[in-house]
Structure 1
Amino acid sequence: MEVDGHSAVQFLFLFKEMQPYDMLCRTMAEELDAVVISVEYRLAHFPDQYNDALQASKRILTAEVLAQYSIDPERVAVSGDSAGGNLAAAVAQQMALDSSAPIKFKVQALVYPVLQALDFNTPSIQQNANIPILYRSHLVSYWLEYLGGDQRLAPSLLANNHTALNQGHKIAAAKAKINWTQLLPAALQKNYKPLFPLQGDPKLLEELPGLLDVRAAPLLAKKEVLRAVPPAYIMTFEHDVLRDDGLMYSRRLEEAGIAVTVDHYLDGFHGCLSFAFGPLQFSVGLRSFENYIRWLKENL
């Protein structure tokens, strides 16, 4: 699709072949008058998915490709939802630091992104552990699948044994970046309690080194990295285990001096954007989609 002099929006989605995503991408292209590119990365273990998304971004952000599709190089965005939001955030960080890439993303739009795997007992995870469509147990299982870990490690991760106090200075430094008692407003913390055992399994980090890899967990990025990324739009839903990932990232970006728009829905749940169209349409799905499009129109 060619659009003279208009923006390109690159979307990184996990379930690319699902009909709702096809409808979303087509509607985005029409509403934004933009070129929409959905990257079909491999459903493989980390870091393969990240590498696919990064290489696709590098290829797209070249004068040759942008000119081929009449894309304005100063109006390019990266976006994704859930696992795609993870990839979008990670790619935005890397591309911002890449001195060999003269063309940069103007903005990033992250929709209920998953951004960390060090604390499976954040307030939103405790609150929404059994709320569809993403359960706490599923979240841990997906992380183990992504990082190539044995599913038998799930109980240890659910108990936060990988971030126990005896795990060393690397874990201590990482935990400081996901300390929700500092990053979340008191209204969201309510009566939830942090869970960091005194003793954990030291082999967990050996088996799952990706837990501390910023390419897998963008929330762990250093402040100097966050200072370089483009302005952000972050959508979160109250009834979603991933709510606090997005809100903690927005706070860290703000502390780094990055302009952030947080779009939070009290009546939303994980995956709502997929319910903006079709026979299973939810009003919150349509509202969130319309506001997402509005932000992109105003900021691209």
Structure 2
Amino acid sequence: SATIHFMKNIEHYDVDPGNVIVCGDSAGGNLAAAVSQTLAGRSDLPKLRAQILIYPGLQALDFNLPSYQQNRGVPLLFRERAAFYVLQYLNGNASNLDEVLEGSHIPIDIKLNYRKWVSPDNIPEKFKVRGYKPRVLLDCTTEIYETVKRFCEPNLCPLLAEDAIIQQLPESFILTCEYDVLRDDGLLYKKRLEDNGAQVTWYHLEDGFHGIISLNDYCGFLFPAGKRGLDRTVKFLKRPINQLSLCFSH
């Protein structure tokens, strides 16, 4: 609602309507992706120039993807905390935390329906070398699913949006970190965008962890990887529109 109000009154804010970008990190990346999808196809508003998603959380169907298994105990975002936060955001409580973590919160038929988008099979093999153990699909009770069924709605989990929406999204910048439970969310969304012909600039911090951008030069903390990630984000902001690139950081 805030974004739509801004876009409808953009002249009041003295902003170039052709140069509006939405950006967010972590949960903010979730919101930025949802806003971009909500605005897709709107003919009554200016078109977004781009979306910037910094280690975004984009799905809540599978908390056992390779990145969740590999980085379950890596600060600043532990696997259990990630599930806890999304349940708090959904219902204001985390009473179904155990079911969400083990994967028994979504019916098997729905999981199979979304497996074309949310699957470890869509993660490049090089991201599984640090360890990955496939999990058996578990079913769930109707009672549990009723409490979390909004996890299947794209405005909460943007990775589940239909192709028709994905195809209308603006140019995207996605930053992922190797030591981050949300790494694979970003990788899966990158694939979805590319499969639908969207322009994607991807930057991966092999020595990065969740929250590293926010900790750049904060209270004495200074991480070179965080500065590199921030510099690449700024570079994307400043470059000409409609240039496709793929960036991979070592």
The TM-score, its normalising length taken from structure 2, stands at 0.91
Change (3 A) 1:81 1:198: closer
Contact 1:253 1:259 in 2 (8 A): yes
1:224 equivalenced with 2:148 (yes/no): no
1:56 equivalenced with 2:6 (yes/no): no
**Distance (whole Å) between structure 1 residues aligned to residue 158 and residue 190 of structure 2:** 12
Deviation for aligned residue 1:277: 2.0
**Distance (whole Å) between structure 1 residues aligned to residue 3 and residue 40 of structure 2:** 12
Contact 1:75 1:106 in 2 (8 A): yes
**Distance (whole Å) between structure 1 residues aligned to residue 169 and residue 152 of structure 2:** 20
Alpha-carbon RMSD: 1.5
Deviation for aligned residue 1:149: 5.7
**Residue ranges of structure 2 left out of the alignment (5+ in a row):** 242-250
Change (3 A) 1:168 1:185: closer
**Distance (whole Å) between structure 2 residues aligned to residue 176 and residue 194 of structure 1:** 16
Residue identity matched to 1:97: G
Moved more, 122-131 or 206-215: 206-215
SS of equivalent residue, structure 2 residue 17: strand
Moved more, 184-193 or 79-88: 184-193
1:269-280 map, 5 Å: 269-278=209-218, 279-280=220-221
Q: In the alignment, what sits opposite 2:124? A: 185
SS of equivalent residue, structure 1 residue 267: strand
Contact 1:133 1:271 in 2 (8 A): yes
| CA deviations over 1:108-139 (Å, ceiling 9, x no partner) | 00000000000000100000000000000100
| CA deviations over 1:190-240 (Å, ceiling 9, x no partner) | 351332434433322211121111100000011111000001000000000
**Distance (whole Å) between structure 2 residues aligned to residue 90 and residue 290 of structure 1:** 25
- Number of equivalent positions: 239
SS of equivalent residue, structure 2 residue 204: strand
Q: In the alignment, what sits opposite 1:89? A: 33
1:114-263 map, 5 Å: 114-148=57-91, 150-163=93-106, 167=107, 169-181=109-121, 183-190=122-129, 191-263=131-203
**Distance (whole Å) between structure 2 residues aligned to residue 83 and residue 277 of structure 1:** 21
Residue identity matched to 1:281: L
**Distance (whole Å) between structure 1 residues aligned to residue 200 and residue 207 of structure 2:** 22
Compare the two structures and name the one with the higher helix fraction: 1
**Distance (whole Å) between structure 1 residues aligned to residue 232 and residue 119 of structure 2:** 29
**Distance (whole Å) between structure 2 residues aligned to residue 242 and residue 260 of structure 1:** 18
Contact 1:118 1:175 in 2 (8 A): no
1:98 equivalenced with 2:42 (yes/no): yes
**Residue ranges of structure 1 left out of the alignment (5+ in a row):** 1-54
SS of equivalent residue, structure 1 residue 119: coil
| CA deviations over 1:248-284 (Å, ceiling 9, x no partner) | 0000000000010110000100001112223112111
Q: In the alignment, what sits opposite 1:18? A: none
Contact 1:61 1:104 in 2 (8 A): no
Q: In the alignment, what sits opposite 2:236? A: 295
Q: In the alignment, what sits opposite 1:284? A: 225
SS of equivalent residue, structure 1 residue 275: coil
Change (3 A) 1:299 1:60: farther
Sequence identity (%): 37
The TM-score, its normalising length taken from structure 1, stands at 0.76
SS of equivalent residue, structure 2 residue 95: helix
Q: In the alignment, what sits opposite 2:52? A: 109
**Distance (whole Å) between structure 2 residues aligned to residue 213 and residue 299 of structure 1:** 34
**Distance (whole Å) between structure 2 residues aligned to residue 198 and residue 208 of structure 1:** 15
SS of equivalent residue, structure 1 residue 177: coil
Q: In the alignment, what sits opposite 1:44? A: none
Moved more, 69-78 or 224-233: 69-78
**Distance (whole Å) between structure 1 residues aligned to residue 240 and residue 21 of structure 2:** 10
Deviation for aligned residue 1:177: 1.6
